[in-house]
Amino acid sequence: MPPDNLTRLSIAEAGDLLRRRALSPVELTRAYLDRIRRLDPDLLAYITVLPDEALAAATAVEQEIARGQYRGPLHGIPIALKDLVMTRGVRTTCGSRILRDWVPDADATVARRLADAGAILLGKLNMHEFAYGPTGVNPHYGTCRNPWDRHRIAGGSSSGSGVAVAAELAAGALGTDTGGSVRIPAALCGIVGLKPTYGRVSRAGVIPLAWSLDHVGPMTRTVTDAALLLQVLAGRDPADPTTSAVPVPDYRRALQGEVRGLRLGLPKDLFFERVDPEVRIAVQAAARSLEGLGAVVEEIPLPKIHHAGPASFAIIASEAMAYHEPYLRARAEEYGEDVRARLTTGQFVLAHQYLKAQRARQVIRAEVDAALTRVDALLTPTTPVPAPRLDERELTVEGVTEDARWWLIRCTRPINLTGHPALSVPCGLTAAGLPIGLQLVGRLFDEATLLRLGHAFQAVSPARDLRPPLNS
């Protein structure tokens, strides 16, 4: 099979071939490394590539499988990690100058769980500096280019993860999500991105942006692949006291569940206000597709969701400042201008404002919980706009002009505040050939229903086989 055909395989497809020894882990890893060598100098998805280490790991995996020591569907699968996930013996920069040469002496829990499952680490991925921004613009390592249009952003902060998966530079990747940083690049790059429930996946060994809002999640080309990664990542971790002991279901089996009769809510408040017309049309078409599969779609009110923006800002600004204060005192000049400016605003958020934001958070979460007693999931755009140009600082939609960053996080940020799981699935392209994302939001710890809905939709969606127009 030609190398580029190998990288088109989903994780599930490649895993089945590896299990049957119809595909060599070394051959698959070489195919990805070759594609990285050819395409990444232009796309800038990676900060660190590990060719020698990856091939050595692939050789060891091949020998294990030959001995009958098959570990599961990720055994021999080449993946990559956002560069704020600690990796023992491999530098972890957080996309910053400050940590440019930092080499951790331990793995993050999620990195260790993937390694224990037999996944092969290709390298560490580019990102918005310290995860503090939704665009992926990085003055230190270069800004990732969207593989659908190199003049446009990939989204952030998990920009490298979105590009690597979309451009087939990794079979799957991990990102982190504090205000949408898994789902935004997933939507703008035309892939699947899952933000699990807060507490479902360990954050031990993952450099924080805001402790009470951060989530770690998989980014893949199919919903099935996201389920396979989540199966390995999910579960209680003594090293992270925020993780939950709620039992982890069989996510792959859940994909085959019935969609007919599931109720989906369209929250018009905030999510469908001031949306690019092409995005609105694509999301509405996705809702009709799910109706065609037997789901019931109805409009629901969420009036308090409008308070999510100010509450989220106060929490992120305060918690990010608390983590970065020592660096800001000693090495402020090493931050990029935009991140330094955003961090310093945290100095001006007062304690009573932070506490009010946390109280508002509880009210908003209760409203979403109440809505999810009436419906099984919410359905919204992931982002109200497609990928902006690299030089676009403001966007105008339906006569309203706002900072591009504001548009990007508007539909994702509230779900970090509430902690509910959310899945972004590609649902079409604009006339200019830019991906559009559909966001599904579920009940706490009910990722299984989201994956079932996303899998059913992806099976009938015209966007399921779309690939960026790369010159490979």
Report the C-alpha gap between 469 and 472 in whole angstroms: 9
Please spell the DSSP secondary structure of 344-359, one letter per residue. Answer: HGGGG--HHHHHHHHH
From the list 157, 158, 161, 202, the catalytic residue is 157
pLDDT band at 2 (very low <50, low <70, confident <90, very high): confident
Give strand pairing partners of 151.
none
Report the C-alpha gap between 56 and 30 in whole angstroms: 11
| Residue type for position 234 | A
**CB contact at 8 A, 75 and 115:** no
Backbone angles phi and psi of 375, in degrees to 5:
-130, 165
Give pLDDT, residue 189.
98
Does 304 participate in catalysis according to the annotation?
no
Report the C-alpha gap between 36 and 23 in whole angstroms: 20
pLDDT band at 472 (very low <50, low <70, confident <90, very high): very low
From the list 82, 159, 318, 424, the catalytic residue is 82
As a whole number, mean pLDDT of residues 103-127 equals: 98
Structure tokens at 338: 């935009």
Q: How many CA atoms lie within 13 A of 3 on its CB side?
A: 16
pLDDT digits (tens, 9 = 90+) for 135-164: 999 999 999 999 999 999 999 999 999 999
Distances (CA, A) of 167 to 42, 45, 171, 175, 433: 11, 9, 10, 16, 15
Report the C-alpha gap between 134 and 137 in whole angstroms: 8
Comparing C-alpha atoms, which of 318, 242, 309, 306 is closest to residue 269?
Answer: 306
Structure tokens at 324: 């970065």
Does 181 participate in catalysis according to the annotation?
yes
pLDDT band at 55 (very low <50, low <70, confident <90, very high): very high
From the list 181, 202, 312, 461, the catalytic residue is 181
Does 289 participate in catalysis according to the annotation?
no
pLDDT band at 471 (very low <50, low <70, confident <90, very high): low
pLDDT digits (tens, 9 = 90+) for 190-219: 999 999 999 999 999 999 999 999 999 999
| Residue type for position 232 | V
Structure tokens at 348: 């001006």
Structure tokens at 464: 């399921």
For the question of whether the overall pTM of this predicted structure is more than 0.95, the answer is yes
Whether 412 has a pLDDT exceeding 60, the answer reads yes
pLDDT band at 229 (very low <50, low <70, confident <90, very high): very high
Whether 313 has a pLDDT exceeding 70, the answer reads yes
Tell me the percentage of the chain whose pLDDT exceeds 70.
99
pLDDT band at 123 (very low <50, low <70, confident <90, very high): very high
Comparing C-alpha atoms, which of 388, 323, 415 is closest to residue 187?
Answer: 388
pLDDT digits (tens, 9 = 90+) for 358-370: 999 999 999 999 9
Give pLDDT, residue 257.
86
Comparing C-alpha atoms, which of 49, 69, 73, 53 is closest to residue 61?
Answer: 69
| Residue type for position 7 | T
pLDDT digits (tens, 9 = 90+) for 184-195: 999 999 999 999
Q: What domains can be seen in the chain, in order of their start residue? A: 3-460 (3.90.1300.10)
